[in-house]
A and B are shown apart, each in its own frame.
Chain A
């Protein structure tokens, strides 16, 4: 497979996954806003998750619901609409590899979002919009799982998808921590349960968590589950295991595998209870994100840039 094509498949995987994740995050925050007594500040946390505060404040002065939604749905380069544009562009330029129906699905979603993404800014149109986006992203993922040969191109889609997923899981966990530690809003502490539950729901992890963890919903167990569980598809450990499996199947994989292994041992070694006690979970999430960035760099160096 051409290096250029591998790169496009990888980004296709990342962008479609990112679209679904952003949609989930907005969805959950909307619920949270209805549950919490004072909730305006939670919209700002959506911007912190994506790490785009600077871009946001270039455009808006207040982090209220309307501005945040506009930013995430339609405006910014990392908005839902733009993620799908990028995914479509990567698919359009690799149409010779992607199954036809997959192209049609991404093209349809693109057409849908170009027309409708603004409908999510107000609460009354939001639910339907986000539900449609999530459903269509899942259809696409499901279609690829069912119809694409498990070789080259698909490995790169999976690597992209799982790195993006792991990244988003750490970011959402991080926001949980940040909200709890927010000194301006001590009342959140009383609602800790709701907050962690929403963290789980935003990752579609609530049911799986309940089946797996005997205790109720609390910060430590949620963090352990989302970081270390081997079986839940959105847990960081599981994502890294998938990335590792894909790397195994590819040629010239030594550097990439070393980097994945490094990330895996950091997750295995960490003690969540201690991190929480010392208020260092936020610091640790940053570390994991740096590991993920390194895996990305090694994947790119191994397969995207041609070297003699």
Chain B
């Protein structure tokens, strides 16, 4: 049966090229789609839904003050990327995270990048996620962001851009792994035909990374996952990763900082030392002694313990300084500055509203641009020019003029499309991609990542909290294994 529509002008379809011909490497998938009936596909979709239900793969949505545990939205048709292209992306992501870590370590220590006038000083001072309390700390390997989820988008000409880097508490990796489990169940014959790079070693790579940052080399490191609890939207993932790593899943109330400034967990044997905390709690809730005094999620004295080097925290407090979307615009400069290398992966071209010339351009062309607040995530607070009312456009003009530092603007990226099983058959839908990058003693990138897909026709919004779905992502090695 079907046939994604051939490429329309201004849109890049990853399966079919301009002339309607299948792109290189996509042949097996395309011929599978041509052969299989819609009925059979829907049956497999149904099987996948049953599996998701029975495995209890859920995410939580906050809606009108209520937490709703929803089943994970999954599209059974995979997205295929060829290994040579992926190798380049992987190298680019590792390069990027290395530079970002050097940057974070620099701003909390010597601040050379400011002294050398590559980054304006006031930008740092006004960054919401800059934590002055972290000044002078030097984590092991000088790495602050051990886990990074970077969002990649492919534009109309086929170029992969980095849309943003998530250095605070990136989520989604458990869904990436579960997606693979499900697609193995529902599309086994394609796995037989293709040489698909495996993913399942992520939890052990993550554990390796976390163990490598322990300060106490004399003992086997005790690693824990710190979760805000079952009402957090990513709780499923916290439990999943703890289980796969064989680490304890703790909440703030399970931990205590002793008089010796070391961190302990409360166990049936009494108190037990903790060496590494993989925290999924935001900076500001980590330690009521230092940050939000009313936080019940954190642990009193944790920052003290961390600053003394008694416990390692991943990602380190303060790592989010590089999450700032204005700082993002400087990442290519950082790569050149710290590594003396040319950036392998480009940023999406961006306008800094703080700079007058660029701001004027933004204000004049607002209707055709995307405006992003510097410090939001999850697609919140976004302004998408062509879709906005006049009133909101005026509002954003005022906001940008009043707080130029808080906004950047980008041209609209047409996000590439991939075939997706919709109610009426197979149709092209827009996607992005979030690979996960680890850095500790060594670096590692997942083979692929979490592909998020906008299930509504023509929509560019892929967030699961806003009606997006997900797909398994296949990195294809040489055929015939």
Shortest CB distance B229–A (Å): 8
Q: Mark B233-269, 1 if CB is under 8 A from A, else 0.
A: 0000001101100011111011000000000011111
Q: Which residues of B contact A108 (CB under 8 A)?
A: 54
B53 at the interface (CB under 8 A from A): yes
Within 8 A of B (CB), among A289-308: 303, 306
Interface residue SS majority, chain A: helix
CB < 8 Å: which of B53, B243, B267, B269 contacts A97? B243
Q: Which residues of B contact A93 (CB under 8 A)?
A: 230, 239
Shortest CB distance A85–B (Å): 12
Within 8 A of B (CB), among A86-127: 89, 92-97, 100, 103-104, 107-108, 111
Please measure, in the bound complex, the distance between the C-alpha atom of A5 and the C-alpha atom of B227, giving whole angstroms: 14
Nearest residue (CB) in B for A99 is B243
Please measure, in the bound complex, the distance between the C-alpha atom of A104 and the C-alpha atom of B56, giving whole angstroms: 7
Q: If the complex has contacts A104-B56, A252-B270, are A2 and B247 also in contact, measured as CB distance less than 8 A?
A: no
CB < 8 Å: which of A1, A89, A95 contacts B240? A95
Q: If the complex has contacts A108-B54, A152-B268, are A2 and B242 also in contact, measured as CB distance less than 8 A?
A: no
B293 at the interface (CB under 8 A from A): no
Q: Which residues of B contact A103 (CB under 8 A)?
A: 56
B55 at the interface (CB under 8 A from A): yes
Q: Which residues of B contact A94 (CB under 8 A)?
A: 239, 249
A3 at the interface (CB under 8 A from B): yes
15 A-B pairs besides A96-B247, A108-B54 with CB distance below 8 A are: A2-B248, A2-B254, A2-B266, A3-B268, A5-B248, A6-B268, A89-B230, A92-B56, A92-B230, A92-B239, A97-B243, A100-B55, A100-B243, A251-B269, A306-B266
Q: Mark A1-35, 1 if CB is under 8 A from B, else 0.
A: 11111100000000000000000000000000000
Shortest CB distance A287–B (Å): 30
A276 at the interface (CB under 8 A from B): no
| Interface residues in chain B, defined as those with a beta carbon under 8 Å from any beta carbon in chain A | 53-56, 225, 230, 239-240, 242-243, 247-251, 253-254, 265-270
A128 at the interface (CB under 8 A from B): no
Please measure, in the bound complex, the distance between the C-alpha atom of A103 and the C-alpha atom of B239, giving whole angstroms: 12
A266 at the interface (CB under 8 A from B): no
Nearest residue (CB) in A for B227 is A93
14 contacts between A and B (CB under 8 A): A1-B248, A1-B268, A4-B251, A5-B248, A89-B230, A93-B239, A96-B249, A100-B243, A104-B55, A107-B56, A250-B268, A252-B268, A252-B270, A306-B266
Please measure, in the bound complex, the distance between the C-alpha atom of A251 and the C-alpha atom of B230, giving whole angstroms: 28
Interface size on A, residues (CB 8 A): 25
Q: If the complex has contacts A95-B239, A96-B239, A97-B243, are A2 and B56 also in contact, measured as CB distance less than 8 A?
A: no
Shortest CB distance B250–A (Å): 6
Cβ contact within 8 Å between A111 and B248: no
Please measure, in the bound complex, the distance between the C-alpha atom of A3 and the C-alpha atom of B269, giving whole angstroms: 9
Please measure, in the bound complex, the distance between the C-alpha atom of A140 and the C-alpha atom of B181, giving whole angstroms: 23
Please measure, in the bound complex, the distance between the C-alpha atom of A307 and the C-alpha atom of B253, giving whole angstroms: 13
Please measure, in the bound complex, the distance between the C-alpha atom of A293 and the C-alpha atom of B298, giving whole angstroms: 34
Please measure, in the bound complex, the distance between the C-alpha atom of A3 and the C-alpha atom of B250, giving whole angstroms: 10
Q: Which 8 A-B pairs have the closest CB atoms?
A: A96-B243, A306-B266, A96-B242, A95-B239, A107-B56, A303-B268, A96-B249, A251-B269
Nearest residue (CB) in B for A253 is B268
Cβ contact within 8 Å between A1 and B243: no
Please measure, in the bound complex, the distance between the C-alpha atom of A250 and the C-alpha atom of B270, giving whole angstroms: 12
Cβ contact within 8 Å between B54 and A2: no
CB < 8 Å: which of A4, A95, A252 contacts B269? A252
Q: Mark A223-267, 1 if CB is under 8 A from B, else 0.
A: 000000000000000000000000000111000000000000000
Please measure, in the bound complex, the distance between the C-alpha atom of A303 and the C-alpha atom of B56, giving whole angstroms: 29
Nearest residue (CB) in A for B247 is A96
Q: Which residues of A contact B254 (CB under 8 A)?
A: 2-4
- Find the residue from A5, A95, A104, A107 having the highest chain B CB count within 10 A: A95
- Find the residue from B242, B250, B266 having the highest chain A CB count within 10 A: B266
Cβ contact within 8 Å between A2 and B243: no
Nearest residue (CB) in A for B245 is A96
Please measure, in the bound complex, the distance between the C-alpha atom of A306 and the C-alpha atom of B251, giving whole angstroms: 14
